[in-house]
Amino acid sequence: MASYKVLIKPSAVKELERVPLKARRKLAAKIRALAEEPRPHGVEKLSGQERYRVRQGNYRAIYSIDDAEQTVLIVKVGHRGDVYRE
């Protein structure tokens, strides 16, 4: 399978920096793994959107996939209670 390029919005980088260090390391590893498999086991497609989410403990990373360009764009990172709010 071809490797995808993982891009992170500047706002998502700031949100990731606010995640506690231990959870941030694990979440960052899951984000990096999206380059090899953008739809790994356990990932859910969000209803009503063309976005997906990956979990790490109480934190989530919301992302979209562009198969034509082979890119994964991380759009939002945060605590599970806040990340789904617009």
Structural domains of the chain ordered from first start: 5-79 (3.30.2310.20)
Determine the pLDDT at residue 49.
87
The answer to whether residues 48 and 68 touch, using CB atoms and an 8 Å cutoff, is no
- Work out the pLDDT band at 1, boundaries 50, 70, 90: low
Q: Which residue has the tokens 């990340």?
A: 83
Q: Is the pLDDT of residue 86 over 80?
A: no
The vertex-70 CA angle with 64 and 76, nearest 5°, equals 25
Per-residue pLDDT tens over the stretch 17-75: 999 999 999 999 999 999 999 999 989 999 888 999 999 999 999 999 999 999 999 99
Does position 16 have pLDDT exceeding 80, yes or no?
Answer: yes
81 pLDDT above the threshold of 60: yes
**Residue 73 pLDDT:** 97
Which segments of the chain are extended strands (E)?
5-8, 44-45, 52-56, 59-66, 71-79
